Structure 1
């Protein structure tokens, strides 16, 4: 694989990710790694006709998760090159099909894009988790959910929580919890009684209009090789379940 790192950061995590990835997969197009200074944009991938770009913040590129984050993005590139429906389906088209004629809050519409990304992540991580140990991912998902639950209005922080954001949205936090459980259970990586279950139920308690079990089932049961039609239907259905069927918090009107 032709991967070139542009930026003054150690290349070792990127090269290590490539070594792992190439044990089972390969990319036809070269990859350009661009290191960004904005810490809020952790990592994202873009695809072009003759190359991929992996954009990563300097903070993420020098973190303990750099190899795992890179491997995850290489997995997205593989799904894109194989034209997997999860990576070719237009999110905008699916949202239009799901929400035509409906009045939806602006915040929920934004969340629908995040949910669509979760579905892409499920398929990318089917590759990632076949190649690398899951310990770091499990800890990462646990810490992210703990921070979000601690930042949810009305949820007092426990002894191991740090309230980092007063703006955490309870409903999307509950969906994010369902995604984390589904991803790890899909690969039999979550031990019984793990703290992530307690965090997920705390998130669900803060969002009574969101059915944690339903969203977990939807994410976990995504078929490995869906047809374009099957994947579009799954994305439309989960969008409706969140934006239309889940309850609106008191005091918030639709736009």
Structure 2
């Protein structure tokens, strides 16, 4: 497994992740790591005919989570190479099957793509958590959820809610995903603070149930074929859209 780090950044996290990853897995194509200057650059993987690309900010590349982030992206690359349905199924096809004749806000459609990314992450992290430690991921998910919950809208003196940076509905979905992923791998304690944070996220939105979406994420098959995965993702998207009061019912036209 070849890893080439490009840009001014550390190499140790990416080579260390490679050494851990290739104990049980391998990649046929080389990985080009691009360390970006933008501190807000999201870590993500790209796939080309002859190589993969791992894009990561310098901030993330020098963080305590750098090796775990690299392991996560290598896992996505493995799923892509093996043609796993979570990484090959067209989202356009899913939306066509899930929402025939429906009128859906662009905001909600964007959130549907975020749900699909969570589903992809479940199958990537089935690999990640089989080769790497779970404690740092659990701490990371707790930290991310705590930040989102603290950024939630709060009532003003008139009882109306004040807009804040975090979307309460997606925060609830993110909480459901975090719990489902960690429970899937027995990587969370019953006394984890994540449960309290998930409860707070659930109370913040009347439309999205954390328990419902945790159960949906948790029910994803361990090794689905294309048809099974398509059905699971269609059901997930449809359930989320149905939870939105502004998108219920058929299209106006």
Tell me, yes or no, whether TM beats 0.5.
Answer: yes
Map of 1:18-57 to 2, 5 A cutoff? 18-57=18-57
The answer (yes or no) to whether the contact 1:155–1:206 under 8 Å persists in 2 is no
Question: How does 1:108-147 map onto structure 2 within 5 Å?
Answer: 108-147=108-147
Instruction: Select 1:232's aligned residue among 230, 244, 247.
Output: 230
Normalised TM-score (structure 1): 0.91
Q: CA deviation at 1:201?
A: 0.7
**1:44 Cα deviation from its structure 2 partner:** 0.3
Map 1:181-220; keep pairs closer than 5 Å.
181-220=179-218
1:166 CA drift (Å): 2.0
C-alpha contact 1:42 1:57 (8 A) present in aligned 2: yes
State the match for 1:6 in structure 2: 6
Number of aligned positions between the proteins: 242
Selected match of 2:170 from 162, 169, 172: 172
State whether residues 179 and 215 of structure 1, in contact with CA within 8 Å, keep that contact through their aligned partners in structure 2.
yes
1:69 aligns to what?
A: 69
Gaps of 5+ in 2: 157-162
| Runs of 5+ unmatched residues, structure 1 | 157-164
* Match status 1:248 vs 2:250: no
Q: Given the two structures, how large is their TM-score scaled by the length of structure 2?
A: 0.92
Once superposed, which parts of structure 1, at least 4 consecutive aligned residues long, lie more than 4 Å away? none
- Structure-2 change in CA distance of 1:7 and 1:188 (3 Å): same
2:160 maps to what in 1?
none
After TM superposition, give the deviation of residue 155 of structure 1 in Å.
7.3
Return the alpha-carbon distance in structure 2 between the equivalents of residues 27 and 180 of structure 1: 27
How many Å apart are 1:93 and its aligned residue? 1.7
Residues 211-220 or 139-148, more deviating: 211-220
Q: Distance in 2 between matches of 1:247 and 1:95?
A: 16
Q: CA RMSD in A?
A: 1.7
The alpha carbon displacement at 1:41 in A equals 2.1
SS in 1 for 2:245: coil
